[in-house]
């Protein structure tokens, strides 16, 4: 099970985070800070899997962003790397070669994609097309609702 998922830049600024375990905000901040520090301090050619407390940190760097998943000690690290890669592929497809600014300005969409892919720390949907389709449908529905609301406010309907 994925206990928490983080995406952060080279300077340690968190861009996405999702916690799948109940934990206090104070502990979240401490664990986040420690995990980011551990990953950022590692050299480029080192293994992408680090043991940290009762978790295994599995991370991958794409351009200026790190994607990190903390999994249970008995979980498969390679599957977790594939989940991270799948998330980045879907983000790439959605944003068109995703970068840090896409995640900053499209945070809601990035979280939607993550939530379509991972639920309660488990991979829900492995199909890129299904996830993309679901996110596009949600966006279309929101756009329609905003349009109807705008028309109501301007007394056109």
Give pLDDT tens digits for 30-44. Answer: 999 999 999 999 998
Pairing of β 2-9 and β 65-72: antiparallel
Per-residue burial over 41-76, b if 16 or more Cβ lie within 10 Å, else e, is eeeeeeebebeeeebbbbbbebeebbbbbbbeeebe
Percent of the chain at pLDDT above 90? 66
Total structural domains in the chain?
1
Full domain range(s) for residue 12 = 2-153
138/69: higher pLDDT: 69
Q: In a 3-state reduction of DSSP, which class is residue 105?
A: helix
pLDDT of 143 > 90? The answer is no
pTM for this predicted structure: 0.86
At 132, is the pLDDT very low, low, confident or very high (cuts 50, 70, 90)? confident
CA 11 distance to own-chain centroid: 18
Cα separations (Å) of 53 from 4, 27, 104?
14, 13, 30
CATH number at 83 reads 3.30.450.60
11 — pLDDT class (breaks 50, 70, 90):
very high
Query: What is the SS3 assignment for 5?
Result: strand
Residue 80 per-residue DSSP state: H
């Amino acid at each position: 099970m994925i206990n928490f998922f983080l995406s952060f830049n080279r300077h340690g600024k968190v861009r996405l985070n999702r916690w799948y375990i109940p934990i206090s905000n104070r502990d979240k901040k401490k664990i986040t800070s420690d995990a980011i520090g551990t990953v950022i301090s590692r050299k480029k050619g080192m293994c992408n899997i680090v043991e940290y407390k009762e978790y295994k940190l599995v991370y991958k760097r794409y351009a200026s962003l790190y994607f990190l998943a903390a999994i249970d000690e008995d979980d498969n690290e390679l599957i977790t790397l594939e989940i991270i890669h799948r998330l980045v592929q879907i983000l790439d497809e959605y944003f068109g070669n995703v970068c840090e600014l896409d995640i900053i300005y499209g945070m809601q969409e990035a979280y939607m994609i993550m939530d379509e892919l991972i639920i309660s720390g488990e991979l829900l949907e492995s199909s890129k097309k299904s996830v993309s389709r679901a996110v596009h449908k949600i966006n279309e529905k929101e756009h329609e609702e905003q349009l109807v609301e705008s028309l109501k406010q301007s007394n056109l309907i």
